[in-house]
Amino acid sequence: MAHIYLLFDFGTDEEKAQQARHKLEGWKQAFRLDKKLLYKLDRGEAGAAEAPENASKAEASKTEASKAEKGKAKGKTKQKTEAETTKETPAANGKVNLLVRLYFSSHEKLSAQRWVDRIPSEEPFKGASPRVVREGEAQFDEVLKQFESLD
């Protein structure tokens, strides 16, 4: 099976990156590409520095919410909404990259090529300077390590 990586650099435009992520999710569901199309957002060092802060805030809110379960229901719903907002806070000023991995078997070469052609030609991906890295190319190992290091 061949791996093909598509790299998109959205700069600091978080909104375009989220539109692209949403479009990929729609394609995954519509065309049943569950394990064949994987993606990860790389927010750079600014996003990595913010993530632990948000995680610790979310954990603190969860513990407060569990304490509030014993109390009134009002406090619980208030704590729950605060925890949700801290989880969804994106890195507003960091550089956003989107890494897409296509994983088709050897007999699906035509499908793989169609997706490699289609994804960069769609609207949110056009302005993101798309780059295709195929298995066997010089940069493939670097991209593979970067993709696996993201969570």
pLDDT at 69 over 90: no
Tell me which of 58 and 114 has the higher pLDDT.
Answer: 114
pLDDT at 42 over 70: yes
User: Which stretch of DSSP H or E encloses residue 16?
Assistant: helix 14-30
Confidence of residue 151 (pLDDT cuts 50, 70, 90): confident
pLDDT at 52 over 60: no
pLDDT of residue 2: 81
pLDDT at 56 over 80: no
User: Which stretch of DSSP H or E encloses residue 101?
Assistant: strand 96-104
pLDDT of residue 23: 97
pLDDT at 133 over 50: yes
Domain boundaries, the chain: 2-43+93-149, 48-87
The Cα-based distances of 36 to 6, 41, 72, 84 in angstroms read 13, 17, 46, 30
What does the block give as tokens for 144?
């593979």
pTM, two decimals, is: 0.69
Helix axes of 73-87 and 44-68: crossing angle, nearest 10 degrees: 170
Q: Which of 65, 60, 68, 70 is nearest to 80 (CA)?
A: 65
Reported as a single tens digit per residue, the pLDDT across 83-96 is 443 344 454 568 99
For residues 98 and 102, give the distance between their C-alpha atoms in angstroms, rounded to a whole number: 13
CATH class given for the domain over 2-43+93-149: alpha beta
For residues 22 and 65, give the distance between their C-alpha atoms in angstroms, rounded to a whole number: 30
Q: For 107-127, what is the mean pLDDT?
A: 95
